[in-house]
Amino acid sequence: MSKRKSSTYRSRHEANRYDKIFKENFLVILPVLMEMLMHVDCEFIEYLPMQKQQVTREMEPDFICKVRLKSTGEIVILVIEFESGDRPHIEARYLLLASMLYHRYRLPVYLHCIYLGARAPRHLSGRVEGGSVSLVYALHQLRLLNYKDFIDSNKAEEVMLAILANTEPLDPEEVIRLILARLTQIVDDKNELAQRVLQFTVISDLRNLGPVVEQIVDDMSLLAGAGQRLRRLKIFRMAEEEGLKKGLEKGLEKGLEKGLEKGLEKGRMLSEIQTIRRMQVKGMDVSTIAEVVGLSKEKVTDYLQQLEHWGEIRAMLAKPRASVNSIAKKLGVEPIVVEAVKLETNGEDR
């Protein structure tokens, strides 16, 4: 497997993690982003479903709503896209997305890009020129705001954004301590606090500060519960790294026959199953595994029930001319589970 393919998958995987967290908290942070960053002054907001738009391909905006502007009384469609990376040709996607939404709603479309990167983007300019078609969109960079604009908020979702803003004159580590201290002040429930710290760790990875957050949490006794869950996250990351490596190798190898996307999906599933197995061996409960892996508790439970046949699957795989499908049928498990066991077994034999 080429390093380029692995790197592409990893970047998509990381972007999905960031997108998930921002979407989970977006309705809370939207007002402050509209006021401080986007400068959109509206009288009402009607949230629209984040449906995939399909013409010859599917596209799903990060966030979409209908608003009435205070200045003109005009009703418009507001589209917000989060970008954690500086990818080439992303503006062409904006042009297509805006035109598809205009075709559907027959209202003016205003697209805003909120850039989360630490440096000025090279591939995002605020304007797309494509001959007879063009698009002007608003480009906003959180790095240009000051951390003080977020740190004193009473909403955890806004406080966490401080790490993506300009931390000067303080060092990022000092701001991390301020953010964690503020979170302990405004979040009373220990479980919620642990969840917020986990989210903050992921967001901090956008500045390559995730390990720093973990170390500081370990040093802060008042965050003992969050620290325990972060240690679980570390175990998951190690398992995930190993699973991604093996899973992608197997998935991409198979994917060459039927297409790269199918191979990547298979690699992801193999990685999930192997990670679930490793976390179970380490004594983690279903709820924790589901939260970390990103699957429902029902799906994790289903995989764990199938993985009870681990020893039988290994024994049957050791026989000459063993068939993945025949083993799966005989034991009543999914073929992907048999492949995960096979992949893990081959790795142990090397």
In contact, 344 and 278? CB cutoff 8 Å: no
What are 264-315's pLDDT values in tens digits? 566 678 878 888 888 888 777 888 788 777 788 899 899 999 999 998 998 9
Mean pLDDT, rounded, for 2-22: 53
What are 228-274's pLDDT values in tens digits? 555 555 545 554 555 544 554 555 445 444 444 555 566 678 878 88
Does the reported pTM lie above 0.75?
Answer: no
In contact, 216 and 222? CB cutoff 8 Å: no
Burial class of residue 35 in the structure, from the number of CB atoms within 10 Å of its CB (0-12 exposed, 13-18 middle, 19+ buried): exposed
Which residues fall within 8 angstroms of residue 260, CB to CB, at 6 or more apart? Answer: 5, 252
3-state SS of the chain: helix, strand, coil percent to 5? 65, 15, 25
Which residues fall within 8 angstroms of residue 201, CB to CB, at 6 or more apart? Answer: 210, 213, 214, 217, 230, 233
Q: How is residue 148 written in tokens? A: 């003080």
Q: Is 60 exceeded by the pLDDT of residue 182? A: yes
Q: What is the pLDDT of residue 259?
A: 46
